Amino acid sequence: MTVVGIDKIGFYTPGYVLDLVALAKARGDEPDKYTIGIGQDYQAVIPPNEDIVTMGANAAKQIIDDQDRQKIDMVIVATESGIDNSKSSAMYIQRLLGLSEFSRTIEMKQACYAGTYGLMQARDYVTLHPEKRVLVIAADIARYGLATPGEVTQGGGAVAMIVAANPKILSINHDSVYMSRDVMDFWRPLDRSEAIVDGHLSTDVYKEMFMTLWQRYVQQNHKSIDELSAFVFHLPYTKMGKKALLQILPQATEQQQSLLMNHLQESQRFSRQVGNLYTGSVYLSLLSLLCHASDLQSGDDIAVFSYGSGAEAELYSVTLQSNFEEYVPKTLLHDLLEKRQVVSVATYEDIFKQQLTRSQIDTTTAMRSTGYNLLGIQDGMRIYE
CA-closest candidate to residue 304, choices 241, 231, 237: 231
Residues labelled catalytic: 80, 112, 234
Q: What is the phi/psi pair of residue 280, to 5°?
A: -90, -5
Is 276 part of any known ligand binding site? yes
Buried residues in 47-61 as b, exposed as e (16+ CB within 10 A): bbbbbbbbbbbbbbb
Please, which residues bridge with residue 197 across strands? Answer: 186
Strand, helix or coil for residue 301 = strand
CA-closest candidate to residue 318, choices 290, 349, 347: 290
Q: Could you give the C-alpha distances from 72 to 75, 125, 172, 349, in angstroms and in order?
A: 8, 12, 18, 39
Q: Prior bond to 311 cis, omega within 30?
A: yes
Is 243 part of any known ligand binding site? yes
Report how far residue 330's alpha carbon sits from residue 347's, in angstroms, rounded to the nearest whole number.
Answer: 30
Q: Could you give the C-alpha distances from 147 to 36, 237, 258, 360, in angstroms and in order?
A: 19, 17, 37, 24
For residues 11 and 287, is the Cβ–Cβ distance under 8 A?
yes
Report how far residue 304's alpha carbon sits from residue 221's, in angstroms, rounded to the nearest whole number.
Answer: 15
For residues 316 and 304, is the Cβ–Cβ distance under 8 A?
yes
Q: Could you give the C-alpha distances from 242 to 146, 155, 223, 328, in angstroms and in order?
A: 27, 20, 21, 25
Is 372 part of any known ligand binding site? no
> Alpha helix locations (H) across 293-344?
330-338
- Could you say which DSSP state residue 174 is in? S
> Alpha helix locations (H) across 293-358?
330-338, 345-354
The binding site for (3S)-3-hydroxy-3-methylglutaryl-CoA comprises 144, 243, 276
The binding site comprises 144, 243, 276
